[in-house]
Amino acid sequence: MSKAFALSKADASKNVKAMVKKRKKLLLVDGYNVLRSGSRYVHLRENPDYTDDVLNKSREALINDVIAYMGRDYTEGVIVFDGGANALSVGSDERVGDVRVVFTPAGVSADQRIEKLAHEARERGWEVMVVSSDATVQDTVFGGGVDRMSSNGFSRESELMDEEVRLDEAPKVASKRTVEGRIDPAVVDKLKALRDSL
């Protein structure tokens, strides 16, 4: 009986693992909103170096952060940049690693595209996290069963991840544990004085 129970428990564990692997999760990021509202990206806009494209540096930093944040939890990531007010924008999609970078065409706002992508993903049974501080986007997508995170919340999470990586990679020096290190310094001085007087 216990053998049958052990097998069924192992089978159940395999089924749970298979179900977890099948979960589809989408990280959907309002690109320019995060770059404007996220504390992590402020320094990229300060004192711009006019020989380099500051906007491209900011977008590249955001793309790298999204890739890192996705880790193993998210199946796909999409960053939407608003090209709606740019009459010359034809809209484009580009893939960088597991992240799809979308520039909306003229006349289509990032908000519209985000809402559409979130709705389509939910219709397909995906779990969706939208990163934006735009109240309209948050209210619209939240009503559709989508999770949300503020732009600054994403910035803080990215900074914490960087700090964890930095601490993991920092060389660790073992401290020397001596009796002297555990005794009150005044007592150590008295003991040294006693030793020297002998």
Query: For 112, phi and psi rounded to 5 degrees?
Result: -60, -45
What's the CATH code of the domain at 76?
3.40.50
Q: Which domain holds residue 62?
A: 23-169
Confidence label for 172 from pLDDT (cuts 50, 70 and 90): low
Residue 35 belongs to a domain? yes
Q: Which of 5-9, 20-24, 50-54, 61-65 has the lowest mean pLDDT?
A: 5-9
Measure the CA–CA gap between 100 and 109, rounded to whole angstroms: 17
Q: What proportion of the chain, given as a percentage, has pLDDT over 90?
A: 30
Closest to 96 (Cα-Cα) out of 58, 54, 63, 74: 63
The pLDDT tens digits of the residues spanning 112-144 come to 899 999 999 999 999 999 999 887 776 676 667
Bridge partners, residue 128, by sequence: 26
CA–CA distance, 92 with 57 (Å, rounded to integer): 19
- Is residue 60 a part of any domain in this protein? yes
63 domain residue, yes or no = yes
CA distances from 67 to 78, 103, 145 (A): 10, 18, 24
**Is 66 within the bounds of a domain?**
yes
Cα torsion 93, 83, 59, 57: sign: positive
**What is residue 130's three-state secondary structure?**
strand
187 assigned to some structural domain: no
| Residue 28 predicted with pLDDT over 90 | yes
> Does some domain include residue 144?
yes
Contacts of 88 (CB under 8 A, 6+ apart): 106
Query: Is the confidence at residue 3, as pLDDT, over 70?
Result: no
Is the pLDDT score of 53 beyond 90?
Answer: no
For the chain, count helices (H), then strands (E).
9, 6
* Within a domain: 179: no
Looking at residues 15-28, what average pLDDT do you find? 69
What single DSSP character describes residue 102? E
* Number of domains comprising the chain: 1
Cβ atoms < 10 Å from Cβ of 3: 7
Is the pLDDT confidence value at 52 over 80? Answer: no
- Single out the residue of 155, 114, 158 nearest to residue 26, CA to CA: 114
Interval 91-109 mean pLDDT: 88
CA distance 95 to 118: 18
Q: Which residues contact 108 (CB under 8 A, 6 or more apart)?
A: 83, 84, 91
**Span 67-77, pLDDT tens digits:** 999 987 899 99
Residue 134 inside a domain? The answer is yes
